Structure 1
């Protein structure tokens, strides 16, 4: 009898040791790529519905507290820091990317499944939104410095060119990679009942003109640009207030109604090697075709902004 009890005790200790050694690397160390660049990037805690709060139903807006871990935020900032360029906007008529004073941030796109950390985040977004990964665009990394902002705009398209690829943007997941001391709020000026949102002195003047979400490192905002029947929702108008104190890093992920990865590239985008910015030649001369190939050249199925200047096609 004593021998049997002692044996059970030994087996219990062994089981606990095996469980501990199996769990610790996953929770504390995260995944690592071939050169170890992602080692030590701890993931956020498992999905917890209590961390999600509905802040508006018209339009539908949800905030997930702690969607990313601090380590994941820092990793995304490191990936984007050396590659950010002046952000562009889609022209309402042609659909081409153009510079505008409406948007004064800097940004760059990551590759899909670029490394284990990015892959893990993309999978988490799909799990939260119940929308397939193939419907989503690449994660974009954005930096807003003092005074930089993005005037209120819609994420759904007004031009037929962009609609041809995956349809309208149905939902947006906006991840905050840094906490801004003041300003930089995401504002929804058309949200129903925004006047009832309590605001103290920590909100900027811009944030007092609509429903506002403060940028807090690790948090994420999910909002829908279309109604459930697929009709664009004008209440989804949103913008980024000017940064007053600090620096804002964020990462939007746009998700379409249909597959974005497997949609044919519209003819207007595939006609050849037309540059989409007047600055392409200058950027190419500075070596950006090699330094920032995702933005300049593009990836499979997603042409870049400066294909002609980077000499990646014949025409």
Structure 2
């Protein structure tokens, strides 16, 4: 079963969720106006209004955006995902079939298993589950984009 791998998967999901947050932060960076000199940290209750409808009351209180760097513009989104959402995301990935990281070696056109990367991943389809739909909507609300224009999670 899945139990022996649960700790490793949780660690990977933690970093995967962190990676998702980094991706979202980069998208926010790309979508934001470079001339805008916004406040470095939004108060915990100041989730963007477009995002509010996608967050529970508890998440609204805990979500905030921290400006990390001006050049390049980098932001950290705190508490975008709840613990329950991370757990459900792990299970969705397990059900989809986590696979070993694949790479294309220099000078090659073929994907091969990586001998150095230790992660496993599963690409989730657009609107695959209600959770995936909620996450896509949250990311779109934060970045000011449309969910259908994003890459798969």
Could you tell me the TM-score, scaled by structure 2's length? Answer: 0.52
Question: In structure 2, what is the Cα distance between the partners aligned to 1:43 and 1:128?
Answer: 17
Q: Compare the two structures and name the one with the higher helix fraction.
A: 2
Q: Report the equivalent of 1:107.
A: 121
- 1:51 maps to 2:59: no
Which residues of structure 1 form unaligned runs of 5+?
A: 1-26, 31-41, 140-315
Q: CA deviation at 1:77?
A: 0.7
- 1:73 maps to 2:92: no
Q: CA deviation at 1:45?
A: 2.2
Report the secondary structure of 1:64's partner residue: strand
Report the secondary structure of 2:85's partner residue: helix
Report the secondary structure of 2:127's partner residue: coil
Which residues of structure 2 form unaligned runs of 5+?
A: 1-52
Distance 1:81-1:99 versus aligned 2 partners, 3 A rule: same
Q: CA deviation at 1:86?
A: 0.6
Distance 1:47-1:120 versus aligned 2 partners, 3 A rule: farther
Q: CA deviation at 1:95?
A: 5.9
Question: Cα deviations across residues 243-297 of structure 1 (Å, max 9, x unaligned)?
Answer: xxxxxxxxxxxxxxxxxxxxxxxxxxxxxxxxxxxxxxxxxxxxxxxxxxxxxxx
Superposition RMSD in Å: 3.1
Question: In structure 2, what is the Cα distance between the partners aligned to 1:111 and 1:43?
Answer: 28
Aligned residues: 99
Q: CA deviation at 1:56?
A: 2.0
Q: CA deviation at 1:103?
A: 2.2
- 1:84 maps to 2:106: no
Q: CA deviation at 1:118?
A: 1.0
Q: CA deviation at 1:43?
A: 8.4
Distance 1:44-1:128 versus aligned 2 partners, 3 A rule: farther
Highest RCO, 1 vs 2 (Cα 8 Å, sep ≥ 6): 2
Q: Report the equivalent of 1:123.
A: 137
Could you tell me the TM-score, scaled by structure 1's length? Answer: 0.27
Q: Report the equivalent of 1:223.
A: none
Distance 1:124-1:87 versus aligned 2 partners, 3 A rule: same
Question: In structure 1, what is the Cα distance between the partners aligned to 2:109 and 2:57?
Answer: 36
Question: Cα deviations across residues 51-81 of structure 1 (Å, max 9, x unaligned)?
Answer: 1101123333211111011111111011112
Question: In structure 1, what is the Cα distance between the partners aligned to 2:70 and 2:110?
Answer: 32
Question: In structure 1, what is the Cα distance between the partners aligned to 2:57 and 2:86?
Answer: 10
Q: Compare the two structures and name the one with the higher strand fraction.
A: 1
Question: Cα deviations across residues 163-205 of structure 1 (Å, max 9, x unaligned)?
Answer: xxxxxxxxxxxxxxxxxxxxxxxxxxxxxxxxxxxxxxxxxxx
Greater CA radius of gyration, 1 or 2? 1
Q: CA deviation at 1:122?
A: 0.3
